[in-house]
Structure 1
């Protein structure tokens, strides 16, 4: 399978393992890259020295390409970028900020830059900033999300219509059938997050992985739009947010309830009651915890079977 995405990253299959906070350490990234897709280390939950350690361990665990996902609002962003250059990382996915700030700086150092967006407007801004590709992430995605609530099914063709650079679809993708659907809609590749949370190599707490596997339709909800929209599993902390909303809270009151390190408590430390449990709507289709290689293999088999199924039906009008 060769296309613009496999060529851009020098990978075998056009699948990217999302760089998720508290889930995407060096074990997940290296296992993903070793499976023929692009693995990403999630820098958003790492201090600079921790990121350097994960990059170094990832380089020892794989000789395949891998990258780092960097939220541009990161407080130590200059130090993070310097570490990426010093450690000779060749692929950076940026998010949560203006791509113009760092794209050219990174590219001048031989780094491929991809920016994550949630709308056509920001996809065009990313293209104007000179990024090598964009990830268009639909409303179904876990974690922090777009404010417009545009679903992947509608976002991908709208972005494809407006941009010329390679397009990666994200949000609600955990199967080969979903991958094929996104490719038909105009994507050149897909980024998968939630499915890899429930992998053996994910750095998420085992208790969180099991909650993801047990999740059913309607188990998640987008909330905290006044701060930064985030999709959460409905637990005790989520219910406390909803109770506070009944009082028409100010952003400051929401921040006070949120506090600090909620995501770490939930996803990394396994506090299923008071932690922030970020996952996508597709959790309802995730039924087991598997090794990354098996997850990738299943997706590819489903993708090929879906193509055969379509061809066998001989749809023509």
Structure 2
């Protein structure tokens, strides 16, 4: 595959980035993606600082290829996490859920490539102004915490690429090579996949959750809890309890109390499919197997090339 701005920026073979998903993106997943030619990311959002350091060190031993760390800025211990990243010599950081101005200059002064995740044109412009090297534009289809505007990937990518000059990575609803081609056809320089990589042996999430993702079909996820932080969830007992609270006209405090602490860990890492929070994208309806990362990436590239050939044979 010919070099593009994303492969050049990260020094990787394919313009494929693995999402830094909480409770899934440990050193095994990140190193496997990097070894297969993409960019693996450690998900710092579900790691205490000492755990993150351990995963960085193990990832360095497992791959000699570039990898990065995804840092949601709303989490505690952010200063300690940033210093560990610098001390351990990580050269790529993806930031999200916060103001990119807070850490971008500091990280870039340390020689680190910085990418910020956005869900709107407004925040894409702010990220570019803050000096980031690239943007992940994440559509409404994506799993986990999401934008409030419900802008789909197919709409968001061309709007963002029109508004900024830096490279744009498309995220949300991408799990196949044809979707990757579509994202790049409308302006993206690369793609970020979360849900597809979660359904792999290397992801650290619980097998119960992986099997639930594989069993999911159209309409099995919904964006909810917008009053707290919008999140796309698989429907289960916890999800139905949240919907019942909405029907009762529950306050933000009541929603917050019911959510409590550790819901995502309970569902995604410990495998409680009834009481846990199960964060996954709409594209879970297209995922019907758990397979190794190397096979996922091999299939993506084959599908990409097949779709490319199919499109070029169409005459208008």
Q: Verify same fold: TM over 0.5.
A: yes
**Equivalent in the alignment of 1:192:** 193
Is it true that 1:13 corresponds to 2:14 in the alignment?
Answer: yes
Shift of 1:163: 0.4
Give the distance between the partners of 2:32 and 2:172, measured in 1 at CA: 21
- How many residues are matched? 315
Give the distance between the partners of 1:64 and 1:222, measured in 2 at CA: 35
**Equivalent in the alignment of 1:143:** 144
Residues 1-317 of structure 1: pairs in structure 2 closer than 5 A = 1=1, 2-313=3-314, 315-316=315-316
Give the distance between the partners of 2:53 and 2:75, measured in 1 at CA: 15
After superposition, give the CA deviation of every residue in 1:236-268 in whole Å (9 maximum; x if it has no partner).
000000001111111110000000000000000
Shift of 1:133: 0.2
Shift of 1:311: 1.5
Give the distance between the partners of 1:51 and 1:253, measured in 2 at CA: 33
Shift of 1:73: 1.1
After superposition, give the CA deviation of every residue in 1:181-238 in whole Å (9 maximum; x if it has no partner).
0000000000000000101100010000000000000000000000000000000000
Unaligned runs of 5+ in 2: none
Give the distance between the partners of 1:109 and 1:148, measured in 2 at CA: 34
RMSD, matched Cα = 0.5
After superposition, give the CA deviation of every residue in 1:53-86 in whole Å (9 maximum; x if it has no partner).
0000000000000000000112100000000000
Aligned to 1:173, what secondary structure does the other structure show? coil
After superposition, give the CA deviation of every residue in 1:272-291 in whole Å (9 maximum; x if it has no partner).
00000000000000000000
Aligned to 2:313, what secondary structure does the other structure show? helix
TM-score when normalising by structure 2: 0.99
Give the distance between the partners of 2:81 and 2:75, measured in 1 at CA: 9
Shift of 1:29: 0.0
TM-score when normalising by structure 1: 0.99
Give the distance between the partners of 2:267 and 2:195, measured in 1 at CA: 15
Aligned to 1:89, what secondary structure does the other structure show? coil
Shift of 1:312: 1.9
Give the distance between the partners of 1:146 and 1:107, measured in 2 at CA: 26
Give the distance between the partners of 1:12 and 1:95, measured in 2 at CA: 25
After superposition, give the CA deviation of every residue in 1:103-152 in whole Å (9 maximum; x if it has no partner).
00000000000000000000000000000000000000000000000000
Q: Which runs of 4+ in 1 moved over 4 A?
A: none
Give the distance between the partners of 1:74 and 1:226, measured in 2 at CA: 18
Give the distance between the partners of 1:158 and 1:138, measured in 2 at CA: 12
Unaligned runs of 5+ in 1: none
After superposition, give the CA deviation of every residue in 1:136-171 in whole Å (9 maximum; x if it has no partner).
000000000000000000000000110000000000
